[in-house]
Chains A and B, each alone.
Chain A
């Protein structure tokens, strides 16, 4: 899918969420869904299989997110899946998050942690990243057990890697 089309979908979703007045929630829920979609082969296969009717794939979305996300989030994801752009869903959502953050003069900080962060930790980490990058950040936390321990923070092109996985890989490489 072309970048312009991705931008177009992201803009549409952004406008809908803002019009609904649930931009922050929708943005956060979509971000989490995108990360889940990327990390789950089963979910990716089910939603992107053109052999499965769009209605059935939309029903899967409603089953997955029903009760866990706002109706706006569910409707937006269903719309993208129904239009046959499931494979571009993570890119569209990332653009949406970037646009939302940009509208608030924030930089998107994607933080991967092996275990969930407490609110206090998130607040301190947000402040620390703002201090390190020189701009306020929109913190997006993803629980990713594959990093084993520690945190990996990505702000724009800057990656701050404090994960155990990377250290283990470096150790293995040196060994």
Chain B
């Protein structure tokens, strides 16, 4: 205490414009400063370090938790991505299958349609040919009937008008006699 007081008194005597060293403090100041610093550090170590350590641990735990969560989410995302890729693959396969089925069905429908059209064309052609033949036959029959009717009328008129004269009658008789005699 005395030393301190002495130092303070002595300091009063020292010229403030003059310093024992341009960098180093006075011994007393160094001692008191060192002690004060040690005290401060001790207090900080005693009371501040646990808090700092605790905060650091909490922070570490929080970061670890966040990292774990991120890993979990990453795994989930990867799983979901795999499922999505799988589903996409299934969808693609299903799409291909549907396309293939659609193509097959379309070809079948097309083939059936063509076959049906061919059958209809054949039926229509046959019906048309039948109609044509029927019409032709009918027309032919009508013409024959008309010719027959006209011919009969012509024969009847010729007979009614005395078709055969005496010479022709005699010729017919002689012809008959000759044929019968030759048989």
Question: What residues make up the interface of A, taking CB atoms closer than 8 Å to B?
Answer: 113-115, 117, 121, 124-125, 127-129, 131-132, 148-151, 153, 160, 162, 164, 168, 171-172, 175
Contact = CB atoms under 8 A, between A and B. Distances in A.
B155 A149 contact: no
B180 A148 contact: no
Contact of A128 (B147, B151, B152, B181): B181
B134 to A, nearest CB: 23
Contacts, number: 66
Given A128-B180, A128-B181, A148 B164 contact: yes
- What size tier do the contact residues of chain B reach? 20 to 34
Contacts of B175: 150, 162
A131 B181 contact: yes
Q: Is the interface of B mostly helix, strand, loop or mixed?
A: helix
Nearest to B150: A175
B159 interface: yes
Contact of B177 (A115, A125, A148): A125
A168 B164 CA distance: 13
Interface centre among B152, B168, B172 (most CB of A within 10 A): B172
Interface in B129-183: 147-148, 151-152, 155, 159, 163-164, 166, 168-170, 172-181, 183
Interface in B69-93: none
A111 B148 CA distance: 32
26 contacts: A114-B164, A114-B169, A115-B169, A125-B176, A125-B180, A128-B177, A128-B181, A131-B183, A132-B183, A148-B159, A148-B163, A149-B172, A150-B172, A150-B173, A151-B176, A151-B177, A153-B176, A160-B176, A160-B180, A162-B179, A162-B180, A164-B172, A168-B155, A172-B151, A172-B152, A175-B148
A121 B172 CA distance: 12
A128 B181 CA distance: 4
A171 B176 contact: no
B164 A117 contact: no
Contact of B181 (A114, A124, A164, A171): A124
B162 to A, nearest CB: 10
Contact of A151 (B148, B166, B172): B172
Nearest to B183: A132
Given A171-B155, A175-B151, A175-B152, A117 B173 contact: yes
Contacts of A131: 180-181, 183
A171 B159 CA distance: 13
A121 B175 CA distance: 11
A125 B159 CA distance: 26
Contacts of B147: 175
Given A151-B173, A168-B159, A172-B151, 16 more contacts: A115-B166, A121-B174, A121-B177, A125-B176, A125-B180, A127-B181, A128-B181, A149-B169, A150-B173, A150-B175, A151-B176, A162-B176, A164-B172, A171-B155, A175-B148, A175-B151
